[in-house]
Structure 1
Amino acid sequence: MARGVKLLLIWILCRGVNVVSSSDERTVVPLVSTANGKVQGTMNHAVDSSRPVYAFYSIPYAEPPTGSNRFQPPIPAKPWTGTKDATKIRNYCIQDQDGWNELCQTLKFPMKSPADPASYSEDCLELDVYTPDVNAKLPVMFWIHGGGLNGGSGHDYNGTALSVFNNVVVVAINYRLAHLGFLSTGDSLIPGNMGFKDQVEALKWVNQNIHAFGGDPDAVTIFGESAGSWSTSSHLVSPMSKGLFKYAILQSGSILSDIVVNKNAEYHFNEAAILLGCVNGSKSEITDCVKQAPVEDIHQVIVKTSGNMKYDRVTVDGEFFPKHPKYLYEEADFSDTKIMVGTTEHEMYMYISLWSFDGQYNYGTFLEEIKFANELFCQKDTVTVENLNKIAKFYLDKDISEMDEKSYREKAIEITTDFTMEFPVLNLTNTFVERGGTAYLYLYSHSPSHMQTIRPRDYGAHVDELLFLFGYGFIDPNELNERVTYTNDENTFALQLMKYWVNFAQNGDPNSEDLPKWPKYNLESEEFAVLQPQPNVRQLFRKEKFQF
C-alpha cells in the first residue's frame, strides 16, 4: 500500500477531514451568483468526514427543449429573478426508467433513478455542482454519464467523496437521450446529435460560471464511462467542443466502435414515425408530425424500442461531426492533447450474465451468446456464422469435448469484451498516439466485494470502477443510493483510483510519488496500468486477435 494513500485513509476513517465547529463560517451554505442568477445549494458530507461539500442540484444550463425547440440545438438558459432553489434534484431526461432500474438491480449497482414518472421530463437540461470551497480556484471534473445514450442521468452520480477527498469541483450533467436526443432524418430537418450539443452547451456554461463555485475554467477535464466515453471521445474531434476543456478521460467506450455512428438515420426515423402514427404526407410533414407528437407517446416509443440501440446513435450531421469520426481521428493533430483511456478486464460480463437460454449449453449456444452480444456493438459482417466460427476456434484453448458451461461462458466474456470494447478503445488510442497525442492506458481489474457472491469469479466488469471512483464506500445512503460497505483494502484502492484521476485532471499526468508508477502508452512498449488493489504494469499481448 502506498504510504501517502494509507495515511489519507487513516485520516478519513479515524479523524474526519478538516473538522469544523458549528460556528465555522463554512457550515453555512454559500449563496452563489451565476451569470443567470443566484442559486442556493445544500451541504453534504462524506462518511466520517466533517469537512463539508457544497452541492448545487439541477441548475439549468439551457432552456427547456420543448415545443418548437424539440429536436433543435439547445438554447442557453435565460436569466432568472430571485434565488433558485438548488437543494434538491428536479428532473431526469425522458427514458425507459424501469428498464434502467432493472439493469442496475440485476447488476447490484448501488444506484437507481426515481420510479415516479413525474420525475422525467423534456425539461431536463440541468447539472449538479459539488465543491469543497467556493472561494478557491480548483480543477474541474466534468462528468458525462453512460447508459447507451438512452438511459441514465448525471443525478445518479454523487460527487461528494470525489470532491472532498481530492479538492476538486465535480460537475455532473443531464443531456437529452434516446429519440429526443439522437433521432435524425439524415438531413437538415432533424440533423441529430442533440444530446452531444447539449453537452457542448453545458461545457460553455461551466466555462462561464464555474469560477463562482471555486472552479478554474481553464482546468476542465471531461470524463465519461460507456456512452459517456463515446461522448468524451467525440468531443476530442468535434469542432464545436474546441477550447472548452483541457484534458479527457475515456472509460470503456470509443466513438470508433462499429455501431455507434448511425448509417441509416432516415430509415430509423421512418420506423419511429410509424410507431408515432406519423405516416401521411411529405417528409417535411411527417417530420412536423413527429416534432408535435405528445411527449407521452414519444416516451412509449422509447420504452417499446429500449434495448434496440439503432435509434440511439450519433449521425454525421455536418456540424458536431463534419465528417465520420473515423476520418476526424485520422486527420487530427493531437500534439497538444492528453488523455487517460481504458477498459475493464471483463466488460461484457454484465451482458453475458443477462442472456438466458433453454436446454443444454453447448458449442451452438456459445456461438449464439457471442452473436447476441456482438450484434449490439458490431457491424453485421463481423457476426456472420462463418466469422463466428473462425473467432471461436482462435479463442478456444481446448477441445470442444472438454468444454463445460463455465468454460464456454468465460470464453464468451473474453471474446465479446475484445470485440465490443477492447479493440475499439485500442484502435482509438493507437490512432490518437500516432497523431501526436499523449495517452495513459489502463485495464481495470477488480470485482467489488459486495458483488463477488453473485459472480462466478473475480470479474472486473463494465461500470465496476465507478463504485470506487465516486467513493460509494464513503457516501451515506439515501432513497437513490444504497450504502455499500467495502474492505479496508478496497477503500484504499478507491482513494488511489480517485487520486490517479485527479492527478491527471490537475497535471495531465496520473502519477505522483505516493502512487505506483503508471507509464505513458507508446506504440513500441505498449505498456499499460492494471488498476486493482495492488496496481501493476503489463504489456499488450496476443495482438493477432486484431485480425478479425
Structure 2
Amino acid sequence: MARNGKRQRWYAAAGTAVLAGLSIATGTANAAPVAPETPDAPLTVRTDTGALRGASTDKARTFQNVPYAQPPVGELRWKPPQPVNPWQGVRDATKQGERCAQQPPGGEVAGSEDCLYLDVTTPRKQAPNAKLPVMVWWHGGGFTRDSKNDYNAERLADQANAVVVTVNYRLGIFGYFGLPGLAGSGNFGFADQIAALEWANRNAESFGGDSNNVTVFGQSAGSMSACALLTSPKAPGLVDKAALSSGSCKLDWPTGALFPGDRAHAPYLPVQEGQAKGRDVARELGCAPGKELSCMREKSTGELIPRMQDFADSLAYGTSLLPLNPSTALDIGKFARVPVLSGSTRDEARSFVAGAMLVKPDAVTSETYPKLLREAFGADAAAVEARYPLSDYPSAGLAWSTVVTDQSWACQTAEGNRELAKYTTVYPYQFADPNAPNVNQLFVPEVPQEAAHGTDLPYLFDLGGVDLLKEEPQRELGRTMVDYWASFAHTGNPNNDPNNNDEAPYWPELNEANPTAMRLAPGATEPIDFAAEHNCGFWRTIG
C-alpha cells in the first residue's frame, strides 16, 4: 500500500515544490526553478486576547495552556464559560498546565478547577498565509476524567498538515451538575467545549488555519459530545465536519452493560432529572433547602470530588444548548448537515468487562451469565442466550463482552450512522487491530483486549507523548488512519482522490446500495459487512 503520494498532497498544499522537483528529476528541459523551502512558522502569534510565545520540535509548533475562558472558580463555579480578560505583553505558551479536577479509578485526586485551557499544534513549517484545516479534539473519559495533556498531536498535525486544537473541559460534578433554577444546568462541560470551538474559529488564522474549514473530532465522551453538538443550535457556522469515535448519539446501555448491576442509561438525560440529582447530592452534602447553590459553591474541590461519578454520562438536554435528546434529533433529521466520519472498535466492551472482573472477579462467570442477560434484556434473555451461547466462547467474559459490544456499541453506532446518512454524507468504520496497544492496562486472561474501547487512540495521537506503535504493521496502519482523517479534514472525504485506488483502499460512503463500513486493521483495511459481523439484524428484533 503506497502512502507517500497522499502525504505529499498535503505537504504540497503547504508550499513544497513537488511538481518542480519531479520536473528536475526527470530531466525535463527548461524545468521551473525549485521554490524556496517552506519557512518555519513563527513562534510568536497574536490571538484576540493577546500575544503568545510557543515552542517548536523537529516536526511541529506548539502553544500550550492557552486560556479560552476565565477560571470557573468561586462565583464562576457552575456558570457558563466567561470570556478571557485580555493580557499585556507576550504570554508564555511553552509549558503544560493542569488537567481539570478529577480522580481516576483507584487513583489520587488530580488537577484543578482552574483548567479551561487548550493546546494548539501545527506543522513546524508553514507557508505564509496558509489556510490549513482546523481539527478540534474533545477527549473521552466518561465525562469524569482525562485531559488534553494526554494527547500529543505533533505527529497528527505534521502528517495531516493541519492545525490541531486539544481542549480541556469541566468534568463530573463540575461540568454536569444542575439545580432547579440554575442556568446552564447539566451543560457546563458542554458549554466549555463549544466555547473552545468558538475560540478556534475566531483565532484560526493566527495559527495558519482556515476558520471556514473546522472539524470537531472526539472519542468516547468526546464523541458523544461532538455528536450532540450536531443537534445543537450552536452548530451551524461553527463546525464544518465531525469525526466520531466510539460515541454515537444513539448509545443507550442496558442494565449492567458498563458494570454489573449498573442502571440502564444513555449518555444524555433530561435536564429536570439532572437538576433533581444535583439537589439530592447537595442535600446529602449537608446543604439546606433553598441554599443549595451558595452552599455547594463554598465547598472545596476535595469535598466535591467523591461525587464525580454521580455525574458521569449526564449531559443534559431540554436546554438552550441542547433542546432535544440527541437520539431523537437524529431520528427526526434535526441536526447540522455536515460530512461525518463515524465508527467504533471491534471489541469495545472488552475493556469494561475486564475492568469489572478485576474489581469483582465473580461478576462475570458461567454461573452469572444467565443472570446478566436477564437483567439486561428481560423477556428477550433466552433469545439472546440462544444467539450468544456460552459454548461458542472460551470464557463467560468474552461471551458477555461480545453481547455488550454488539448490542450497545456496534449496532447502535450503525443505527446512528444510518439516520445521519439520510441527510448527509457519512463514512462508517470499524477499528479492528487484534494486536492494538493495551492502553487501558487491563490484563485479564479470560478477556484479551485486542481492539477494545480506546485502543484506536495511539494510531492518531502519541498518548502521553509516547509513540505506542512499535511494530511496522501498526505504524503503517497509523499512517493510513492519519491520512484518512487528514483527507476528511481537508475535503470532507477520507479518500485523497475518490477515483484513485492506488494509494489506499477506497472508503465508500454509506448509503442503501452500499451499507458497508471500512475495517481499519493491519494488512486488512477494506470495506466489510459491519451489520452482519455484529448481528445487527438480530438486535433490531430485541427490545
SS of aligned partner of 2:355: coil
| CA apart distance, 1:80 | 0.6
Tell whether the 8 Å contact from 1:5 to 1:492 is kept in structure 2 after alignment. no
Q: Partner residue of 2:328?
A: 327
Out of 278, 290, 294, the position equivalent to 1:288 is 294
Q: Deviations over 1:192-214 (max 9, x none)?
A: 21111111111111111121111
Between Structure 1 and Structure 2, the one with more helix by share is 1
Q: Partner residue of 1:172?
A: 166
SS of aligned partner of 1:429: helix
Q: Partner residue of 2:82?
A: 75
Cα distance change, pair 176–488 in 1 and its aligned pair in 2 (3 A):
same
Cα distance in 1, alignment partners of residues 485 and 41 from structure 2: 29
Tell whether the 8 Å contact from 1:352 to 1:369 is kept in structure 2 after alignment. no
Out of 401, 407, 432, the position equivalent to 1:413 is 401
Cα distance change, pair 145–449 in 1 and its aligned pair in 2 (3 A):
closer
Q: Partner residue of 2:71?
A: 64
SS of aligned partner of 2:430: strand
Q: Partner residue of 1:530?
A: 519
Cα distance change, pair 124–449 in 1 and its aligned pair in 2 (3 A):
closer
Q: Partner residue of 2:387?
A: 394
Q: Deviations over 1:325-366 (max 9, x none)?
A: 233223335684210000100001101111225569754322
Q: Partner residue of 1:433?
A: 421
Cα distance change, pair 317–71 in 1 and its aligned pair in 2 (3 A):
farther
Tell whether the 8 Å contact from 2:438 to 2:455 is kept in structure 1 after alignment. no
Q: Deviations over 1:221-259 (max 9, x none)?
A: 110000011011011110023211110001001233221
| CA apart distance, 1:276 | 2.4
Tell whether the 8 Å contact from 1:2 to 1:516 is kept in structure 2 after alignment. no
Q: Deviations over 1:36-73 (max 9, x none)?
A: 1011111123xxxxxx3111001000111112211111
Q: Partner residue of 1:316?
A: 317
SS of aligned partner of 1:131: strand
Question: Superposed, which structure 2 residues align to 1:234-313 within 5 Å?
Answer: 234-258=228-252, 259-263=266-270, 264-278=273-287, 280-282=288-290, 285-302=291-308, 306=309, 310-313=311-314
Q: Partner residue of 1:516?
A: 505
TM-score normalised to the size of structure 1? 0.81
| Larger displacement relative to structure 2 (345-354 or 424-433) | 424-433
Q: Partner residue of 2:118?
A: 127
SS of aligned partner of 1:127: strand
SS of aligned partner of 1:271: helix
SS of aligned partner of 1:224: strand
Tell whether the 8 Å contact from 2:70 to 2:85 is kept in structure 1 after alignment. yes
SS of aligned partner of 2:231: coil
| CA apart distance, 1:321 | 1.1
Cα distance in 2, alignment partners of residues 25 and 325 from structure 1: 44
| CA apart distance, 1:448 | 3.9
Q: Partner residue of 2:352?
A: 351
Out of 359, 365, 368, the position equivalent to 2:368 is 365
Tell whether the 8 Å contact from 1:443 to 1:530 is kept in structure 2 after alignment. yes
Structure 1, unpaired ranges of 5+: 12-17, 19-23, 46-51, 103-114, 372-381, 473-479
SS of aligned partner of 1:281: coil
SS of aligned partner of 1:54: strand
Is 1:207 aligned to 2:201, yes or no? yes
Cα distance change, pair 387–57 in 1 and its aligned pair in 2 (3 A):
same
Cα distance in 1, alignment partners of residues 337 and 154 from structure 2: 31
SS of aligned partner of 1:120: coil
SS of aligned partner of 2:286: coil
| Identical pairs, percent | 28
Q: Partner residue of 2:61?
A: 54
TM-score normalised to the size of structure 2? 0.82
| CA apart distance, 1:458 | 7.2
Is 1:88 aligned to 2:75, yes or no? no
Tell whether the 8 Å contact from 2:61 to 2:121 is kept in structure 1 after alignment. yes
Tell whether the 8 Å contact from 1:139 to 1:506 is kept in structure 2 after alignment. yes
Cα distance in 2, alignment partners of residues 291 and 147 from structure 1: 25
Cα distance in 2, alignment partners of residues 150 and 186 from structure 1: 22
Q: Deviations over 1:388-439 (max 9, x none)?
A: 343222222xxx5x467x24322212111122211321221111122x1110
Q: Partner residue of 2:459?
A: 468
| CA apart distance, 1:445 | 0.3
| Larger displacement relative to structure 2 (324-333 or 247-256) | 324-333
Q: Deviations over 1:277-302 (max 9, x none)?
A: 21x233xx223212332222112332
What amino acid is the match of 1:281? P
Q: Partner residue of 1:34?
A: 47
Q: Partner residue of 2:152?
A: 158
Q: Partner residue of 2:376?
A: 383
| CA apart distance, 1:323 | 2.5
SS of aligned partner of 1:262: strand
Out of 409, 420, 429, the position equivalent to 1:442 is 429
Is 1:498 aligned to 2:482, yes or no? yes
Cα distance in 2, alignment partners of residues 317 and 7 from structure 1: 44
Cα distance change, pair 238–485 in 1 and its aligned pair in 2 (3 A):
closer
